[in-house]
Structure 1
Amino acid sequence: MRALFVLPFALVFTLASASAVSAQAPRAGGERLGKVHFATSCAAPVAEEFDHAMALLHSFEFADAITGFKKALEGDPSCGIAQWGIAMSTWGNPFAGLRSPKTLQEGLAAAQTAQTIGAKSEREREYIAAVALLYKDADTLDHRARTVAYEKAMERIYTKYPTDLEAAAFYALAVDQTALPTDKTYANQLKAAAILEKLYTVEPDHPGVTHYLIHSYDVSALAPRALPYARKYANLAPDAPHALHMPAHTFTRVGSWQESIDTNIRSHDVAMQRHDPGEALHAWDYEMYAYLQTAQDAAAKKILDGVNEIIARPAAPAGGRADMPAMPGMAGGPAGGWAAAAIPARWAIERGAWSEAAALTARPSPQPFVEAITRFARALGAARSGKPDLAKAEIEQLIALREKEVQAKDAYWATQLDIQRQAAQGWAFWAEGRKEDALRTLTAAAALEDTTDKSAITPGPIAPAHELLGEMLLEANQPAAALKEFETNLKREPNRFRSVYGAGRAAESAGDRAKARSYYGQLVKICERGDRRARPDLDHARQYVGASTSSERPLASNSNPFSVTPL
């Protein structure tokens, strides 16, 4: 088994030179998607259309990729590898979790059609056989078993065809797809990245190589390594909405909020131009998250208003993208559906507006983990507004939704909902005066959160457990312990507003003026573009940093912003 994509210097030079000649140029209309060439045995006149569809596939523009592969088939009905492209595009985002029965049925049909058409080359037949493994026996084999089988098949192709850059890229993506969130050695991500780093030296303008490197490093411990690729990808494929959004994964991981805002504005605009509301909402979720971390609340409110307007529209039929069931006002899907639920929840929770959180409207969703967002926000808001009975009712809903994930054998989301349940239960205990039970339960939630990681579908948890625990410890008058929790969360989510502010407040309460000034100064720097007088906690940080040492006063006992009453 090879760990790296290794090419002799002469071969690297040959491939690089060939790439300059055969790589895809901008199509009519100037569409810019990067450089891709996938050698096929199909008729020569469809090669450009096929490469165009491949470029779209590598940037996760699945609906448009399917359209392109269908056009290639129209030009050459014997082009079985184009049907492979349809099956790959139907699978959709490899990091999106379980597939719907409809997606599995459509993908299997596409793979079987590819096998029926066949291909003139053994290499293409092997690609077709590999994609079929993602769908075959889905009624008896679980999602992980099928993705691992696909990974192994792509490894065989990668090994057999050492000069096939496409095989190496898709194999690396398959390795990333099977990475376990509980593996904190990041073995799969590092293995995939090693392959992709080598590919990058051969074809730095290949959209898949750059894109998949960002995914490989999309964990907090590795995210700084992705920065050069994140800063390149949007300009490499600026006509692909996902390529404009994807850098925000890295910018979020490192807390570079304005870069995230800027690239998501571009992504949202291009997504709307391409009639892709799911990608537009996904960009909005990341954009709003960054606005809220920088106290640009007026800008965040505009996004909230836009989402509420979308939700109020009549339901629209599902679009052509994989896994996009109909939802109010849009063609949804995991990313779009998540964003529509997460944005209102974030607006309330990030501002500490607990009564607003408790009053959010819960809406059913085909994905239990999406509905759970609002249930969690309502439970947390009710508990922190001093209404434990209302919180308990929402916690019961969370338990029921988690059971649906268990029945679906989706261990990842079952774990995420368990973290949410424990966090909400901890604050419900606190509202009842059961402080020991509250701290014990929230500590367990934080420990469970440490065993996993956020999904690529979201910029971050709706409310991180370590941060919630830090806020509770502040209320318990344990500032040293609270500071530890905030600092733990900041290692995972740098420059996060509530954790930076919480760390400053904890240091101030503990009498550590130097550390308090450092954290408050950090918050003021993060919020350079923040709205004035939007948040009392930011005002406090500004005042503290601006005060002289002689004028600093101890923290008043009634000034804790994390109390159970709304700010």
Structure 2
Amino acid sequence: MNARPCVLLLLLAIAGAVHAQAMHDHDHGIPEKLGTVSFPVACSPTVQQPFNRAVALLHSFAFDAARNAFANIAKQDPSCAMAHWGIAMTYFHPVWQPALPPATFAAGQKEAQEALRLQPAAGSDRAYIQALNQLYKADPKATPSQRTLAYEAATANVAHDHPGDVEAQVFYAVALLSNASPTDKTHARQKQAVAILDPLFKANPDHPGIAHILIHACDSAELAAHGLAAARKYASIAPSASHALHMPSHIFTRLGLWDDSIASNIASEKAAHAQGDLMGELHAMDYLVYAYMQTGRVKEARQVIAAMKQLPRLDMTDFAIAYASTAMPVRVAVEERHWDEAAAIAPPQGAPESVVAIAVWAKGMGLARTGHADDARKQGERLRGIEARLHVAGDTYWADQTGILATEIMAWAAQASGNPAGAVALLSDAAEKEDRIEKRPVTPGPIVPAREQLGELMLEQHKPGPALAAFRDALALAPGRAGALRGAAQASAAD
């Protein structure tokens, strides 16, 4: 689709979405649109439609709005066990990290126990509630991964016992993704989820959860093309949910469809802002900056960052907020090769160490690329310390990512010190490690992929053949990245 009509259509959709959010309790203007969900429950008939709406919100990860909707149902029908099931489910964030946030675990557990107390003697409601309590069982020794694995097994049984229940199949697919390992490059659980969701998508084209989870399942270089149909559809299914407007850009980013990603995130940013969803707004802004940089629209990227700095005081203890607000200025400085700007970036106060690592990396890269090798190595050692502490804390994923960042700095410091062979060895090691790990949904991708950096290093060492090979490998994993395309062209011209 031509970018201009795409932008226009999505902006028209968001105009309706924003108005609907403000007016959804009053039948004025454009009605709320969240998709089509039918989830019969053993509660008062008067709450069935509100329950369907609450589940639609849940499927689009509008957790706060869904929680309020389920709470209203519990007030209207105090005997409705599934209302408490729904509230507890809003505290489970299956494809985010952590899936069971410690700060809200007790609240989710309380609601799960209330659902258990009110559960019917038989039927699908009871099955859903029993599965939920695998997440929140009263076992202080159970780890989060043990809980999500037990939940996956329980939802597998619900889906098997109720093959005609669309919701049972969708929630099983979600449970599979909650246990998908970022180091499993076979994408086994993602493919299981796709196999479940594909036929459901054809039969239920307006179901928000099916399209949404298909996108998450296909958020990899291997599967992205398979998720394009869901990406093209999801925003029109649930334009009243800002997350639904953003999610297609996960696939667009994987495929290098930058104009589509820009349109998606402009719409999502505006909707999230109107709905007071700060995390959603910043998440869309980060993806927007990433896409702008790939199309050479540096001015627009900097305008997004300027708008971010005008937002109310950001809670830097919130990982998603801290990540997006830290990554955006780093992306621009490093992709533009403004090394003095990168070296001046200060770590965010109060942010998780996995986020602080991004700013430390930027500083180290800026120092290394301007010839200050010893100072750069100090930043690399600082990252090694963060890596070690993250390992001790059990955060293996971000520890490994931080280790890769540290190795990248050391590689460029080696190059600056006149050790080209050492630089190649280090950066090759970083690229191989990065290739083995999938990105988390919180980010559109590394600031600059290690393999793309390897191509840049080879160019600096006047080795156009190896540089071209590295850039081609980088583009296979991240199509359309401007730096890799530019580098490949330079390497081809020099070869």
Q: Structure 1 pair 149/61, CA: closer, same or farther in 2 (3 Å)?
A: same
What is the rounded CA distance, in whole Å, between the counterparts of 2:144 and 2:476 in structure 1? 31
Distance 1:98 1:38 in 2: 24
Query: Which shows bigger deviation, 440-449 or 99-108?
Result: 99-108
Q: CA deviation at 1:241?
A: 0.3
* Deviation by residue 1:269-315 (Cα, 9 ceiling, x = unmatched): 111111101100000011110000000111111011112233xx545
Question: Relative to structure 1, is the Cα distance of residues 137 and 489 closer, same or farther in structure 2, using a 3 angstrom cutoff?
Answer: farther
**Paired residue for 2:323?**
338
The answer to whether 1:74 aligns with 2:75 is yes
Question: Match for residue 508 of structure 1?
Answer: 493
The answer to whether the 8 Å contact 2:384/2:406 transfers is yes
2:442 paired with 1:441: no
Distance change in 2, residues 1:98/1:425 (3 Å): farther
Q: Which residue among 299, 320, 334 is the counterpart of 1:349? A: 334
1:418 offset after TM fit, Å?
Answer: 1.3
- The question of 1:289 aligning with 2:285 is answered no
Deviation at 1:120, TM superposition (A): 5.2
Check the 8 A contact 2:242/2:271 in 1, yes or no.
yes
Aligned partners of 1:456 and 1:237: how far apart in 2? 20
1:168 match: 169
Q: TM-score, normalised by structure 2?
A: 0.91
- Confirm whether residue 307 of structure 1 aligns to residue 292 of structure 2: no
Give the one of 451, 473, 476 matched to 1:466: 451
Residues 96 and 334 of structure 1 are in contact (CA less than 8 Å); yes or no, is this contact kept in structure 2? Answer: no
Equivalence for 1:46: 47
Deviations along 1:206-238, one digit per CA (max 9) or x if unpaired, are 000111111111111111111111111101100
Q: Per-residue deviation at 1:113?
A: 2.3
- Please say if 1:181 is aligned against 2:182: yes
- Matching of residues 405-484 of structure 1 within 5 Å: 405-484=390-469
**Residue 142 of structure 1: how far off its partner (Å):** 2.9
For 2:87, the equivalent position in structure 1 comes to 86
Structure 2 matches for 1:543-562, cutoff 5 A? none
Asked if structure 2 preserves the Cα contact closer than 8 Å seen for 1:214 and 1:226, the reply is: yes
> How far apart are the structure 1 equivalents of 2:202 and 2:462?
54
CA distance in 1, matches of 2:180, 2:445: 18
CA contact (8 A) 2:94 2:178 kept: no
Counterpart for residue 237 of structure 2: 236
Where does residue 8 of structure 2 map in the other structure?
A: none
Aligned counterparts of 1:153 and 1:100: Cα–Cα separation in 2: 21
Q: Identify if the C-alpha distance between structure 1 residues 438 and 141 changes in structure 2 by more than 3 Å, giving closer, same or farther.
A: farther
Asked if the contact 2:99/2:178 (under 8 Å) is kept, the reply is no
**Distance in structure 1 (CA, Å) of the matches to 2:313 and 2:265:** 26
Shift of 1:112: 1.9
Taking the aligned partners of 1:184 and 1:506, their CA distance within structure 2 comes to 29
* Residue aligning to 1:513: none
Q: CA deviation at 1:366?
A: 4.7
Checking the alignment, whether the CA contact within 8 Å between 2:347 and 2:359 is kept in structure 1 is yes
Q: Is the 8 A contact 1:84 1:131 kept in 2?
A: yes
Structure 2 match to 1:496: 481
- How much does 1:501 deviate? 0.4
Question: Hey, what's the Cα distance between the residues in 2 that align with 1:498 and 1:356?
Answer: 18
Which has the greater radius of gyration? Answer: 1
Could you say what the CA RMSD is over the residues aligned between the two structures, in angstroms?
Answer: 1.7
Aligned to 1:377: 362
* Cα distance in 2, alignment partners of residues 429 and 136 from structure 1: 51
* Distance (Å, rounded) in 2 between the aligned partners of 1:384 and 1:428: 8
1:14 is matched with: none
Q: Matched residues in 2 for 1:134 and 1:422: separation?
A: 37
Q: Deviations over 1:391-438 (max 9, x none)?
A: 223223322222232122222222111111111111122222222221
Task: Quote the offset at 1:135 in angstroms.
Answer: 3.5
State the identity as a percent: 39
How many residues get paired? Answer: 469
**Does the residue aligned with 1:91 lie in a helix, a strand or coil?**
coil
Give the equivalent residue in structure 2 for 1:214.
Answer: 215
* Rounded Cα–Cα distance in structure 2 between residues aligned with 1:380 and 1:131: 46
Q: Is the 8 A contact 1:130 1:150 kept in 2?
A: yes
What secondary structure does 2:135 align onto? coil
Q: Deviations over 1:43-96 (max 9, x none)?
A: 111112111110000001000000000000010111111111111111135233
CA distance in 1, matches of 2:256, 2:304: 20
Matched, 1:386 2:387: no
What amino acid sits opposite 1:43 in the alignment?
Answer: S
Judge conservation of contact 1:265–1:287 (CA < 8 Å) in 2. yes
1:125-144 matches, cutoff 5 A: 125-136=126-137, 139-144=140-145
**Letter in structure 2 aligned against 1:282:** H
Query: Is the Cα–Cα contact under 8 Å of residues 130 and 154 in structure 1 kept in the other structure?
Result: yes
1:487 aligns with 2:472: yes
**Contact kept? 1:278, 1:337, Cα under 8 Å:** no
Question: Does the CA-based 8 Å contact 2:318-2:351 persist in structure 1?
Answer: no
Deviations 1:308-350, CA, capped at 9 Å, x for gaps: 233xx545xxxxxxxxxx33xxxx7433321111101101011
Residue 46 of structure 1: SS of its match in structure 2?
helix
| Whole-angstrom CA distance in 1 between matches of 2:134 and 2:382 | 36
Q: CA deviation at 1:99?
A: 4.2
Structure 1 residue 146: Cα displacement: 1.9
- 1:182 to partner: Cα distance: 2.1
- Structure 1 CA distance for aligned equivalents of residues 164 and 318 of structure 2: 36
Q: In structure 2, what is the Cα distance between the partners aligned to 1:501 and 1:437?
A: 25
Q: Is the 8 A contact 1:60 1:93 kept in 2?
A: no
Q: Aligned equivalents of 2:79 and 2:491: distance in 1?
A: 68
Cα distance, 1:172–1:99 mapped onto 2, change above 3 Å: closer
> In 1, Cα distance between the equivalents of 2:160 and 2:350?
42
| Alpha-carbon distance, 1:365 to partner | 4.3
Q: What residue is the counterpart of 2:156 in the other structure?
A: 155
Indicate conservation of the 8 Å contact 2:185/2:438, yes or no: no
Cα distance in 2 between the residues matched to 1:170 and 1:99: 16
Distance 1:460 1:254 in 2: 12
CA positional deviation for 1:458? 0.5
Aligned equivalents of 1:457 and 1:271: distance in 2?
16
Change beyond 3 A, Cα 1:139–1:371: farther
1:298 match = 299
Maintained 8 Å contact 1:79/1:119: no
Q: CA deviation at 1:98?
A: 5.5
Letter in 2 for 1:117: L
CA–CA distance in 1 between the matches of 2:354 and 2:469?
Answer: 29
Consecutive unaligned residues in structure 2, runs of 5 or more = 1-23
Quote the Cα distance in structure 1 between the aligned partners of 2:365 and 2:474. Answer: 19
Q: Which residue of 2 aligns with 1:95?
A: 96
Shift of 1:367: 2.9
The residue identity in structure 2 corresponding to 1:262 is A
TM-score (norm: length of structure 1): 0.80
Contact 1:66 1:89 in 2 (8 A): yes
Give a deviation string over 1:112-142, Cα, whole Å, max 9, x none. Answer: 2222333354322221222222243675333
Aligned-pair CA distance for 1:466: 0.3
**Structure 1 residues 98, 202: CA separation in 2 closer, same or farther (over 3 Å shift)?**
closer
Per-residue deviation, 1:243: 0.2
User: In structure 1, what is the equivalent of residue 16 of structure 2?
Assistant: none
Q: Which runs of 5+ in 1 are unaligned?
A: 1-25, 316-325, 511-567
Report the secondary structure of 1:90's partner residue: coil
